[in-house]
Amino acid sequence: MKAVLRLCLILLLLWSGGLLWFCLSLPPAGKIQNLAPAEAIAVLTGGPGRLAAAYELLEQNKGERLLISGVYERTSLERVYNLLGSSDELSACCIDVGREAKNTEGNAAEIAHWAIEHGYKSLIVVTARTHMPRTQIELQRFLPDVGITPYAVQTGRFTLSNSRRLTYEYSKYWISLMRARLLKNISAT
């Protein structure tokens, strides 16, 4: 019984240490003036501030096109463009909407399909700070030869309620990391 308790304590300490490392290694919130341009921009829907940040990057010529990945299938293009405050010219020439993605892995697949279709070799990817590590893992699986520049969006101050969200994101990060490593090992054999 003591051995089981000791093992549980060791696992809890390792998990807690990993969570601390995860929190300390999150990318800082992006700053447009410090960002080098890429060929295109992709944003993962799902959180506050992401669309506005991605659209601002497009307006600042940080990429030639913008993909909004994971848009709900019943959301009209007009609604998306209104949310962005986009001009008709910019909407028509430079904004694509992806509707297939239902989760982060789906976002990565959708972004990869779009990037390959357009021949892009460099992307700026916009998502929440806490979501960025997992997003990068998934994108590396689908786009190993494309340069990914993260642009993290700050989604609020640290509180007890978002600390739960952070631990959830950390757990999902490890699942994504293990899946990526396992799939890499399987494909190598």
Comparing 158 with 120, which gets the higher pLDDT?
120
Band of residue 158 on the pLDDT scale cut at 50, 70, 90: low
Nearest to 139 by CA among 126, 157, 154: 126
Give per-residue pLDDT as tens, 109-136. Answer: 999 999 999 999 999 999 999 999 999 9
Q: Look at residue 35 and tell me if it is in a domain.
A: yes
Q: Look at residue 84 and tell me if it is in a domain.
A: yes
Band of residue 164 on the pLDDT scale cut at 50, 70, 90: confident
Q: Look at residue 15 and tell me if it is in a domain.
A: no
First-to-last alpha carbon distance for the chain, in angstroms, is 40
Containing H/E element for 125?
strand 122-128
Partners of 147 in the beta sheet? 122
Nearest to 148 by CA among 91, 68, 71, 63: 63
Mean pLDDT, the chain, integer: 90
Q: Rounded to an integer, what distance in angstroms lies between the CA atom of residue 95 and that of residue 1?
A: 60
Helix, strand, coil share of the chain (percent; to 5): 55, 15, 30
Q: Rounded to an integer, what distance in angstroms lies between the CA atom of residue 138 and that of residue 119?
A: 19
Residue 186 pLDDT exceeds 70: no
Q: State the CATH number of the domain containing residue 78.
A: 3.40.50.620
Give per-residue pLDDT as tens, 61-93. Answer: 999 999 999 999 998 888 888 888 877 777 888
Q: Rounded to an integer, what distance in angstroms lies between the CA atom of residue 49 and that of residue 16?
A: 29
Q: Look at residue 2 and tell me if it is in a domain.
A: no
| 150: CB partners within 8 A, 6+ apart | 27, 30, 124, 125, 127, 132, 135, 136
Give per-residue pLDDT as tens, 165-185. Answer: 889 999 999 999 999 988 876
Q: Look at residue 52 and tell me if it is in a domain.
A: yes
How many structural domains is the chain composed of? 1
Q: Please give the DSSP secondary-structure letter assigned to residue 166.
A: H
Long-range contacts, 91-96 (Cβ 8 Å, 24+)? 94/58, 94/64, 94/65, 94/66, 95/58, 95/65, 95/66, 95/68, 96/65, 96/66, 96/67, 96/68
- The whole domain housing 94 covers 27-188
pTM: 0.88
Q: Look at residue 88 and tell me if it is in a domain.
A: yes
Q: Look at residue 13 and tell me if it is in a domain.
A: no
Q: Look at residue 118 and tell me if it is in a domain.
A: yes
Cβ-in-10-Å burial (0-12, 13-18, 19+) of 52 comes to middle
